[in-house]
Chain A
Amino acid sequence: MLKRLFPHPVLSVLLVIVWLMLVNGFKIGSLVMALILAIVIPILTAPYWPNRPPLRQIPAFTRYLLLVMWDILVANIQVAKIILFMPADRIQSAWIPVPIDLKSPEAITLLAGTITMTPGTLTADMSACGTVLLIHSLHAPDPDAIRDDIKARYETRLKRIFE
């Protein structure tokens, strides 16, 4: 019964929390509304999650989020420096194909999002079979180093979390 009502417990809990934050305060009425959403939305969106990965590694995932937030901070400063101090014709932009070993679509989405938010890189496309990401780098004197850095810094961590 409980399992039929909440097929995706993590999503349901997240929806309740987000709704209560949106209302910005705790009232019984908003809790009821949150519960309705927590039941209806997972059922409506179930077709889009054919085989959702279980999120077991919550500490590892939290560490990953903190790492990414720190990298975003560094990325902001780096990109600001490039914009302010580097002459436009000396910026060497490059397209970098990054082969990935991740299998689950959720992990790949997270990796692509991370790449977009962090140091001077942007996910633009992926190969039709889903095994190579196309990345655009703002300033890449050494494209291979950037590729290896992405694989070592983010992909191995995501692999441990999701697979």
Chain B
Amino acid sequence: MDLAIEAILSALLVIGGIFAVIGSYGLLKLRQTMQRLHAPTKASTIGVGTTLIVSMIYFPVFEGQFSWQELLITLFLFLTAPITANFIAKAQMHSRMTRDDLPPTGLGNDWATFDEDENAPPTRR
């Protein structure tokens, strides 16, 4: 029984590791900065996720103590990952791109990063 659980957990760890490597490989392979942003925000979520799941199962089963902290790591990861990605995208838009690289908003005012109209109505964010 222990062997079966260990085998499953090891398999999960290896799968997670493979995904983490793919995420890093994506950084090398993709060519535009915006494309590179996709690789680490996604392909590595599964890498971290499986590692945390394994840790959450391993310690109660083999060491007899349950740990809540893995759930917290997941929570914090899901809260921070989108914000990090958004900040990197914004920095990229400010420093390397011009307004013409983006599609129109189809509205009276522009994307928040490029909007410079001081008479615009108060923004709602």
What residues of A have a CB within 8 angstroms of the CB of B121 in the complex?
129
Chain A proximity mask over B28-50: 1 for CB below 8 Å, otherwise 0: 01111011011101110110000
Selected from B103, B107, B109, the residue in CB contact (under 8 A) with A95 is: B103
Chain A proximity mask over B8-28: 1 for CB below 8 Å, otherwise 0: 000000000001001101100
Q: Decide if A126 touches B68 in the complex (CB within 8 Å).
A: no
Chain B proximity mask over A109-144: 1 for CB below 8 Å, otherwise 0: 000110011001011111111111010101000000
Q: Which of A1-9, A52-60, A71-79, A154-162 lies at the interface with chain B?
A: A71-79
Selected from A18, A113, A120, A129, the residue in CB contact (under 8 A) with B107 is: A129
Q: How far is the CB of B94 from chain A (nearest CB, A)?
A: 10
Tally of contacts, chain A with chain B, CB under 8 A? 143
A28 beta carbon closer than 8 Å to chain B: no
What residues of B have a CB within 8 angstroms of the CB of A117 in the complex?
41-42, 45, 78, 81-82
Chain A proximity mask over B57-81: 1 for CB below 8 Å, otherwise 0: 0000000000111011001001101
A22 beta carbon closer than 8 Å to chain B: yes
Q: How far is the CB of A16 from chain B (nearest CB, A)?
A: 13
B interface residues, how many (CB within 8 angstroms): 55
B52 beta carbon closer than 8 Å to chain A: no
Q: Decide if B89 touches A125 in the complex (CB within 8 Å).
A: yes
B85 beta carbon closer than 8 Å to chain A: yes
Q: Decide if B81 touches A24 in the complex (CB within 8 Å).
A: no
B98 beta carbon closer than 8 Å to chain A: no
A145 beta carbon closer than 8 Å to chain B: no
A interface residues, how many (CB within 8 angstroms): 41
Q: Decide if A127 touches B112 in the complex (CB within 8 Å).
A: yes
Q: How far is the CB of B124 from chain A (nearest CB, A)?
A: 4
Q: Decide if A127 touches B105 in the complex (CB within 8 Å).
A: yes
Q: Which of A32-40, A41-49, A80-88 lies at the interface with chain B?
A: A80-88
Selected from B43, B46, B86, B120, the residue in CB contact (under 8 A) with A112 is: B86
Identify the A interface with B (CB < 8 A).
Answer: 18, 20-22, 24, 72-73, 75-77, 79-80, 83-84, 88, 91, 93, 95-97, 99, 105, 112-113, 116-117, 120, 122-132, 134, 136, 138
Identify the B interface with A (CB < 8 A).
Answer: 19, 22-23, 25-26, 29-32, 34-35, 37-39, 41-43, 45-46, 67-69, 71-72, 75, 78-79, 81-83, 85-86, 89-90, 93, 101-113, 115, 117, 120-121, 123-125
**Subset of 10 A-B contacts with CB under 8 Å:** A72-B46, A76-B46, A83-B29, A83-B39, A124-B90, A125-B89, A125-B111, A129-B123, A134-B111, A136-B38
